Structure 1
Amino acid sequence: MTVSGEFKGETGPTLNDAPENNIRIVQVSGLVKWFDVGRGYGFIIPDNGMQDVLLHLSCLKRDGFDAPLEGTRIICEAVARQKGYQCLRVLTVDSSTAINPVERRPRTHTNVTPSSAWIRAKVKWFNRARGFGFASEGEGAPDIFIHMETLRKTAIADLLPDTWIYVRFGDGPKGKMAAEVRLSLEGGPAHTQ
């Protein structure tokens, strides 16, 4: 497939500048994680579990689509770039699954001050689309709530169940709440972007 010279990567030269045999184009189907019209970009969460795909407004406009709302289903062709996958061509946009801004619950993330030392905890579950999850110090210990915003501070994109992490927590409105999260050197890696 020949790649259009009009498409420019986030930080690099046009795709035509790269040797064609080094370009690997993959078809991606997924939901829009978020999209900021002011910044002109957002991200798609692929259905197959691969890392998030960068989506530029210019790409959408070129292919005849408007800026999508969170939750919109998109099928596109993506290309691997230095910082991850980036949408090359938008094939279809289905807004029937989109969350309209009026229906969206306001994001209320409470920041807590850490009152604990670094403790080792196991991720029970984490849902990045919903933006939160829980970890546990062990049997009988109260769960530790982990908000997506806390992970973003250290560029952690996702946590996989049964992986070990280090957490400093404080008292949140409903119990223990992570103030800082770091990946453990033991127990397997967590997925990062």
Structure 2
Amino acid sequence: MNDRKPSKPVRKNISATVKFFDEAKGFGFVSPADGSPDAFVHISVLQNTSYQELREGMQINCDLADGDRGQQVVAIHEPEEEEEVVVGADIEITGVVSTYVPEHKYGFVTPDGGGEDVFIHISMLERSEVNPEDIQLNTKVKCVVRPGVKGPIADSLEIL
């Protein structure tokens, strides 16, 4: 039996605000608009959506169920039209991998033109069909980058 499946009824199409989400750790919490307690959200619920991150303050529509430790998000519905505008803020950069820690599944790219290092995560590498073993120090890459809560984050990566 899979312990992650909700055994209680699911509350569908609940509006919620993202309170916190740590992409590196893969989880966070949302605050439902109906006043119910905060709900845990795991990065795995993003897999079958167009969402690539959850930002603090972001409004989402989700399905909630009672888990062993309280409410949890079991599905996230596709973003509203206004979320499309944020995607347009992405930029493309080239740079080199300055840090990659395979056991923690993340690293950073230093842009060629200077500026803040760009966070890279194994889930993005998998979406980009890049083998994590090919990511080494000083590997030349091209990334599509978007703003994140703690700094720039790569949405896609290509080894040059």
- After TM superposition, the score normalised by the length of structure 2 is 0.49
Larger radius of gyration: 1
